[in-house]
Amino acid sequence: MSPLILIPFGVFFCCCLAQFPLLRAVRAALAERHPDAWREMSAKTWFANSAGAGYVWGDRAKALNDPGLVEAVNRLRLVYAVGFVAWLAIVALMLTSPVVAKH
């Protein structure tokens, strides 16, 4: 396998780490400034991270008219998108790299 795979793997790993503080910022903004929306969202999920991530792919954050929340959601959306592209690059490199048999 090519060492080139380390580049998208590093990007994916960084995105995995970056999502935690960004998701925490989304959860904190919802809990502090929009407690009713936070209670409604968190009642539907088992994990708090899932509740915050629900705002990333929908337009619920824009409906709350909170610029700080929308900014945090947009950053988290970017991290998720870059992580997904890096994951696809890892899979593509794994499938297309020649396997060298050592005897």
* Per-residue model confidence (pLDDT) at position 54: 67
Separation of alpha carbons 23 and 29, rounded Å: 10
pLDDT at 79: 95
Average pLDDT over the chain reads 83
Half-sphere exposure of 4 (CA within 13 A, CB side): 11
- pLDDT at residue number 48: 60
Q: Is the pLDDT of residue 83 over 90?
A: yes
This prediction's pTM: 0.80
As a whole number of angstroms, the distance between CA 93 and CA 96 comes to: 5
Does the pLDDT value for residue 25 go beyond 70?
yes
The C-alpha angle with vertex 9 and arms to 6 and 11, in degrees rounded to 5, equals 110
Residue 61 neighbours by CB distance under 10 Å: 26
Range from 61-65, 76-80, 94-98 that averages highest in pLDDT? 76-80
Q: Is the pLDDT of residue 9 over 60?
A: yes
pLDDT digit string, tens, across residues 29-72: 888 988 888 787 777 777 666 666 667 777 777 888 888 888 98
